Structure 1
């Protein structure tokens, strides 16, 4: 028997075995009373239907809630229902300890074993290296490079007119150069030998004569002075580099006067560059010791 049939039967308890017939067959009721009475019955029937439907929905929801998780009563949001007084989860009849959860029964779950922390290794102090042995006095104060001074020397070697042989004056000038080089001594960097002539004669002749004069001086530096040939550079320039004092020599002079006036141009220059040790400082003079006055 469905819900509507049960409701109709329940209404018959108040209005006879056939309440529907009462609406049309009662001669003692006027028309308005019949309508009012029928409307009342209708409302009661509908109210019973609504209550029964709501009860059916709650029963179905409760049944679904019980079957969702099985062990605990779950609400429609998926959260376990807790008792109002104790705050514990409401268990269903199918609950067993094996179904315990972290949310509801954490005490029933096996304890998580936390692995012990590894022991901290002891701090080993770093090994201290042995101090280095003291340096010897000779090693601590190594002699540095000696202080040097630049050296530059220029010498003019004179020649006779139209000749390339060394004169006595020329040899004397070179000997003085050798003496100066031995002082110190001088460490030579380069030696430049340049031969010159006057303007008398052709350019080709003077060029060849100047080169011959330069070679004569070069050979003397090597053979008599012991200079390194690799450090000597020589050339002949002819009359292209005259001495300033000869600019007043005029071609209107007679030949002898012109030859004598141009004599400073007949030369070979020797330029030496290098270094020599710096001389040691002179010791300070000692102060005389004052004698104490004699007592009378």
Structure 2
């Protein structure tokens, strides 16, 4: 006698929204919007709104496909076990169809309503996040965040290309800022959720190379990130408003990173410095990108 598998209750809109990783999407949309607003040209509000919508949908598609592929991993991690798939509120096929459909729609709409350059970069960003980072890098190498950081660095390029139809030095620097920001940001998180990654078999740097190496790498990448953040000012691509804010906020980031990079922990450590760096790193990126837009508008 064959026992039929229990049917899952139908997922509601909140589960599909959760698939898109709204918190991650907010940062993606913001950096994409700033990349657009920092351009020297004026973009029609309707086209600009459409471009930002496409960036949001593309990011949501990448998040959904990431959760579809990593459903088994998410099930054993405390940080992710309540997501729709591991919690049993949605089947994997629905997540796959939703992600593919959302991604295809975002790229097609960007190409038809905005321009081909922005659509091409959007397509590359989705494929990079899903195929290069999620499928290839994350389960195989502790450098997953370093190389995979490029996936989250595309939005400023997309926003700039949506307004101008091309890519110049400033958006490349914005790409570099997010790319170099990602390792210290994510490794700070990895330090205080290391057990989760170890249980899931994900070779994050603290799991594979140890805490000391991870802290050292946080310090090194913070230095590289700081150089990229400040660079637009001496290169004449941003003014003193941006320069002053970039120096002040980066100095505080550097101080927090120095504490994390040089400290040792005990078994009962609360990891407060690591959590403080992780939380500030999110605010930091918002401030730096907002400062660039304000600086360009004042100029």
TM tier, shorter chain? under 0.3
Q: Which has the higher strand share?
A: 1
TM-score (norm 2): 0.21
Q: Which one has a bigger Cα radius of gyration?
A: 1
Q: TM-score, normalised by structure 1?
A: 0.21
